[in-house]
Amino acid sequence: MTRSVRRRLVQRAAVAALLASGVGAAMADEATRPYADGGYFEIGVGYFVSRSIKARVDGDGQRDVSRLGTLSLSGALRRGPFFLEARRGGLDGVSVGATLWYDRQHTLDVLAAHVPGTVDIGWSSGDDEPAQDERSRNDRLLSRESLLGMSGLRLRRFQGDSLLQLSTAIGWKHGNGVLSGLHLGRQWQWGNWSGQALVGVRHASSAFADFIYGVDEDEATERFARYRVPSTVFAEADVSVARPLARRLVWRSAARLRQFDDAVTDSPLVTGSRSWSLDTTLSYVF
């Protein structure tokens, strides 16, 4: 048995043990639960504008700006301690997990499977074949930020309309990088408008950051030289507003900002230190 396989087995066994020990406790006292059973599923159409910190494949020094119409599926489901969350809007991602422990103000969740980011569904052929020409290799380097399967823990403290969250998750592949976060959030209601603001910092281990922003020896091209990313901290903020338009129709808009430090901005793949996005969506809620 190789070391990485053994490590993976140990990680999964630890998650299973945590689940087994915590679920019973979490189901014990419904009166003090700071969360509620339920769920929703929504389908949305919207418009998304973003400016990445990454370079464009067709121009040095130019940052990639995307403007696209979006079709999004998202939802959440909780039954007792178990939950599934798939969000678009706010800080996106998909999580499957269970609440290990709680009291009136706190929840400690294990994220059995956690995929930060948005799932883009598309079709391409021959992706596994090594790219031959320079442009294809550059393109592959710039579009490497894809799905990252992770598992981890999330501790939340609720206080009125505020939230404090600590989270940490370890990647399943690509060197088992670790992404940890500290976030503060607050929600408001003005008339029938609801708002949410989040600010936070994330720490990405070298393995995690390197998978996204590093260039290995065998990947390097004339334009993108070899670069090894050290561990890094980045800040993020997210503000969103939502309003019901009808019994099942919600309009939502969000603005998001991320600020990266030198560890990331020194990467040849990166030409800026700040990324942002604007997102507006009309969703039908089932």
Partner 1 sequence: MCSERRCFVAVAALWWAGLTPVSASAESLELVARPAQCIALHRGQPCYQEVVLSWGALDAQGTWCLLSDAQSAPLRCWQGGAVRQHVHAYASADTERFSIRRDGSGAIVAKTRVTTVWVYREPRRGSSGWRLF
Give the nearest distance from C-beta 131 to partner 1 in angstroms: 31
Give the nearest distance from C-beta 179 to partner 1 in angstroms: 10
Distance CA 251, CA 194 (A): 11
The interface mask with partner 1, positions 208-247, x = CB under 8 A, is ------------------------------x-x-xxx-xx
Residue 219 DSSP symbol = G
Q: Is 50 in the site for partner 1 (CB under 8 A)?
A: no
Q: Is 257 in the site for partner 1 (CB under 8 A)?
A: no
Give the nearest distance from C-beta 141 to partner 1 in angstroms: 26
Among residues 186, 250, 273, 275, the alpha carbon closest in space to that of 46 is found at: 250
Q: Is 51 in the site for partner 1 (CB under 8 A)?
A: no
| Of residues 154-193, those binding partner 1 (CB under 8 A) | 158, 161, 163, 165, 167, 183, 185, 187, 189, 191-192
- Residue of 81, 93, 177, 214 that binds partner 1 (CB under 8 A): 93
Among residues 218, 246, 214, 244, the alpha carbon closest in space to that of 232 is found at: 214
Region of 44-52, 78-86, 123-131, 135-143 interacting with partner 1 (CB under 8 A): 78-86
Is residue 223 within 8 A of residue 249, CB to CB? The reply is no
- Residue of 70, 136, 194, 259 that binds partner 1 (CB under 8 A): 194
Q: What are phi and psi of 241, to 5 degrees?
A: -130, 150
- Residue of 34, 80, 230, 268 that binds partner 1 (CB under 8 A): 34
Amino acid at 269: L
Strands (E) across the chain are located at 38-56, 59-79, 82-87, 93-102, 106-116, 150-159, 162-171, 178-190, 193-204, 232-246, 249-259, 274-285
Between 22 and 89, name the residue whose CB sits nearer to partner 1: 89
Q: What are phi and psi of 40, to 5 degrees?
A: -155, 165
Amino acid at 117: G
Among residues 216, 279, 229, 209, the alpha carbon closest in space to that of 251 is found at: 279
Give the nearest distance from C-beta 88 to partner 1 in angstroms: 8
Q: Is 89 in the site for partner 1 (CB under 8 A)?
A: yes
Number of residues that bind partner 1 (CB under 8 A): 46
Is residue 91 within 8 A of residue 74, CB to CB? The reply is no
Q: Is 119 in the site for partner 1 (CB under 8 A)?
A: no
* Cα dihedral across residues 60, 64, 65, 66: positive or negative: positive
Positions in the binding site for partner 1 (CB under 8 A): 34-40, 76-78, 83, 85, 87, 89-93, 95, 114, 116, 158, 161, 163, 165, 167, 183, 185, 187, 189, 191-192, 194, 196, 198, 238, 240, 242-244, 246-250, 285
